[in-house]
Structure 1
Amino acid sequence: TATGGTALGAPGDAASQTGVDALIETAALAFGPIDAWFANAGVDRGRGLAASDADWDLSWNVNVLAHVHAARRLVPGWIERGGGRFVVTASAAGLLTMLEAPAYSVTKHGAVAFAEWLSATYRHRGVVVQAICPQGVQTRMLDDSGPLKELLSHDVALTVDDLTAAVERALTGDDFLILPHTEVAGYYAARAADTGRWLTGMNKIQQRMETLTEEDEQ
C-alpha cells in the first residue's frame, strides 16, 4: 500500500500471468505488502459478429484472466495475513449488456462472475471483493464508441472524478456492487424480473441505433 501520497508508474502487461506477477512484485518492492488490488485494465475490441478471434482472445485475457492471475498471487497471502480487498473494474455491461460489442459484454459478464465467485469463496476469510459497474464515463473509450456513445450517456456520462468519488465512498464498506450510476440497479432488477421483456426493450434500442447509423451514412 502506498503511503504519504506517493505513487509509482510502471509499465506492465495485464494479459498474462507473467505480466501481472511483475506488476505485483514491482508494487510490493516499492511499498511493501499489498492490502488492496484495483483491477482496472480493460479493452473493448471488435463490433458485432465481425469481431475477430484476436479481438475475443485479447478481451478474454485482459477483461477476465487478468483478475484470475492477480487473485492467484494475492489471495493466499491475504488469507495468511487476515484479509485484503480485491476491486474489479467491470462495467454495467457485465450486469446488462452493451449493444454491438459482444466480446466486451461477454467478458465483462465474466469479470463480474469471477468476482462473485471470489467473494462467495473467501468472504469468511477476510477477503473483501467488490465490482465497479458504471455506464458511460468520460474517457477515450467512450469517445471512440461511435453510435454507442449516446446509449452509454443516456443517464449521464460521469467524469473520472465523479467515478473516483463513488468508489472512495464504497471503500468504506464491503458492498459487492459499486454502482456509480444508481439507475443501473433498477435496470439490473428489471432484467432479472422479466428477461424477455428487457431483451425486447434492448432490441428496440438496437433498431434505433441502426436507424441513426443509416441516417448518418446518407
Structure 2
Amino acid sequence: MELAGKIAVVTGGAHGIGRAIAEALIAEHADVVILDLNSDAVSKTADQIGAHGAACDVTHHSAIQQAINDITHDLGHIDIWISNAGVISADPDHVASASDQIWQRAWDIHVMSHVWAARALLPDMISRGSGYFVNTASAAGLLLQIGDAPYSATKAAAISFAQSLAITHGDDGILSSVICPQYVASSMLGYDVDDIIPDHPGLLTPADVARAVIDGMKEQQFLILPHPIVGEYAKLRASDPEKWIKGMQKLRRRILSQTDGIDPKTMHLLV
C-alpha cells in the first residue's frame, strides 16, 4: 500500500510502539493523528513528531466515535486505523484469579476498541473502496503469555477479529493486518524512552517494530512478525499441540525455579 498522503490514526500513539509507528508513517509522508489516554502526553508527542493529537479513552465506544467524528470533520476521512493501545496485568494467583474489572479492561482495550472503530469506519471505507485496519496484537495471541491470562485471551480474540475483517471485507477493498511482536522495550515492560536497552536477542526496540510494520503494510501482509521466530513457534504449536503445552509447562516451571513469581514485565530476561 502506498502510504504517502494517507490519513492514519494511531491509538496509544503517545509513546512506545504507537509513537514509533506514528513517526515511521510521518517519514513515509502520511498525515498522522495520534490518540492516547493522557492529554498532556498526546500534546507533547504530537508537537515533537509533527502529528495531530487528541486525548481518547478507547475503553469507551462514545470516545472512539467522537474522535472519529472530529478527525473526519477536520481532515475529511480516515484511510488507516491502527489500534495500538494495550495493557498488561499479572495473574495474582491461579489462572482465573484476575478480577472481572481487569478482564473487562483488557477486553475493551484489546478487542472492543477495534470493533467500535470498525463499526464507525467501515461504511465510509466500503463506499470509497479503500481502507486499512492494523491491529497491534501480540505474539501472546498466537502463542501465550505465561502469567497473564486476560492479555493472552484478549489478544487471541483480537487476531480472530482481524481475520474476520480481512475475510469478510477484502473484496470491498479493505485491508487488515495484525502485528504480533514478542518482547519490546517499551513502557509496557517498564522501559523508558531514554533507557539503555539491554543486549538481549529477543528484545526489540519500538523503532524495530515500526520498521517491520511499515514494510508489512507496504506489502499488505496480514500477519506482521517483527520477531520472525514467532512464526516458527506458531508452526510448532499447530503441528503438535500436546508437545507445545508440555513445553510451555516446562518453561513455566523453569521460570518459577529462578524467581519468586511470574511477572510478565521481566519474563523476557528469563526465557
Q: Do both share a fold (TM > 0.5)?
A: yes
* Alignment partners' CA distance in 1, 2:122 and 2:200: 37
Q: Does 1:198 align with 2:247?
A: no
Q: Deviations over 1:54-98 (max 9, x none)?
A: 100100111100000000011111110011100011000010100
* Alignment partners' CA distance in 2, 1:74 and 1:105: 27
Q: Deviations over 1:11-39 (max 9, x none)?
A: 00111210111221232233221000000
* Alignment partners' CA distance in 2, 1:130 and 1:55: 26
Alignment correspondent of 2:189: 142
Structure 2 unpaired stretches of 5+: 1-6, 8-29, 33-48, 192-198, 263-271
Greater share of helix? 1
Query: % of aligned pairs identical?
Result: 39
Corresponding residue pairs, total: 208
Structure 1 unpaired stretches of 5+: 145-152
Q: Deviations over 1:128-169 (max 9, x none)?
A: 00000000011111228xxxxxxxx97421101111111111
Q: Does 1:113 align with 2:160?
A: yes
Q: Does 1:176 align with 2:222?
A: yes
Q: Deviations over 1:117-137 (max 9, x none)?
A: 111100111000000000001
Q: TM-score, length-normalised on structure 2? A: 0.73
Q: Does 1:210 align with 2:248?
A: no
Alignment correspondent of 2:265: none
The correspondence for 2:129, drawn from 68, 82, 99, is 82
Give yes or no for contact 1:36–1:85 (8 Å, CA) kept in 2. yes
Alignment correspondent of 1:27: 71
Q: Indicate the RMSD between aligned Cα atoms, in angstroms.
A: 2.0
Q: Which amino acid aligns with 2:188?
A: M
Mean Cα displacement is larger for which, 43-52 or 174-183?
Answer: 43-52
Shift of the 17–215 alpha-carbon distance from structure 1 to 2, 3 Å rule, reads: closer
Secondary structure, counterpart of 2:144 in structure 1: coil
* Alignment partners' CA distance in 2, 1:154 and 1:65: 34
The correspondence for 2:177, drawn from 120, 123, 130, is 130
Q: Deviations over 1:156-210 (max 9, x none)?
A: 2110111111111111121110000000010001000001101111111100111
* Alignment partners' CA distance in 1, 2:124 and 2:72: 12
* Alignment partners' CA distance in 2, 1:114 and 1:71: 10
Shift of the 71–208 alpha-carbon distance from structure 1 to 2, 3 Å rule, reads: same
* Alignment partners' CA distance in 1, 2:261 and 2:115: 43
Deviation, structure 1 residue 53:
0.8
Alignment correspondent of 1:44: 88
Q: TM-score, length-normalised on structure 1? A: 0.90
Q: Where does structure 1 differ by over 3 angstroms across 4 or more consecutive aligned residues?
A: 2-6
